[in-house]
Amino acid sequence: MSTQNSLNTLQPYNLEGKVAVVTGASKGIGKAIVDSLADAGAKVVLAARTRDVVEQAAADLRDTGAEAIAVPTDVTDVNAVQNLIQQTVDTYQNIDILINNAGNGIFGTVEDFDPVDWDSVINSNLKGVFLCAKYALPHLLANGGGQIINVLSVAAKVAFPASSAYCAAKAGALALTKVLAAEVRHQNIRVTAVLPGSVETPFWDDISQHPDFEKMLKPEHVANTVLSVCQQPLGMVTEEIVVMPPLGIL
């Protein structure tokens, strides 16, 4: 390896002008992630289901001087995901980073859980990760490499009562992340799973019982973690990182 190549693998990865697609980007963790990436100079593509909210989030970023577009997207829909990737390439010509952050949570005991709700949680948290990775990969490969970061949950590893679908989906998404990493590591694509503990976001709005918000992580804590992974030197990869509130599982 030449001295120059060796130095390149040690230098922080510069996000200036890089193209990052972020799902679930209109609020909470996703919004904090796109804000941090835009601050670092990346061109950001915001994907979320609610058109007016995601378009306003992109407009707010453009008002700060960032390059940002919104693509309303249901990550469980094949056509919608294909459209997301195509609009990204049409606008910015390539994709450097995919951050799978979209997901939902519906809770209840196995005995009482509605199968329709089960499908919703599995599709949002697992199928969506698969679809976005599948359709982004050809462009990452054509670009000579890139990065995929899947924002999951400690529920991928810890069993919580009344959380069967959510835990199963996150565990499946963690397994998918590991398989994906094994498949593409030799093609210059870094794959990382980020597993946060409780985060103060709108995720909890419809959940009557929840941990103390004051003790939770903030969305910016997770966003800072994602940004640091994105900026790591090309000579390394963080395959999995757990981010917890100071008091641990709440």
In a domain, 5, yes or no: no
The answer to whether residue 2 sits within a structural domain is no
Please tell me the predicted confidence (pLDDT) of residue 249.
81
- The answer to whether position 222 is within a domain reads yes
Q: Is residue 74 part of a domain?
A: yes
Per-residue pLDDT, 200 = 82
135 catalytically annotated: no
In a domain, 249, yes or no: no
Domain extent, residue 176, equals: 12-243
**pTM recorded for the entire structure:** 0.92
Residue 83 is assigned to a structural domain of this protein: yes
pLDDT value for 208: 64
CATH number for the domain harbouring residue 232: 3.40.50.720
Average pLDDT score, the chain: 93
Domain-embedded: residue 1: no
Per-residue pLDDT reduced to its tens digit, 84-118? 999 999 999 999 999 999 999 999 999 999 999 99
127-131, 189-193, 212-216: range with lowest mean pLDDT: 212-216
Q: Which of 13, 92, 135, 166 is catalytic?
A: 166
CA distance 195 to 112: 27
- pLDDT surpasses 80 at 48: yes
227-248 residue pLDDT tens:
999 999 999 999 999 999 888 8
- Residue 222, burial from CB neighbour count under 10 angstroms (0-12, 13-18, 19+): buried
Of 81, 79, 55, 51, nearest to 68 by C-alpha is 55
Quote the pLDDT of residue 104.
94
Structural domain total, the chain: 1
Instruction: Summarize pLDDT for 2-12 with one digit per residue, the tens.
Output: 444 555 678 99
In a domain, 6, yes or no: no
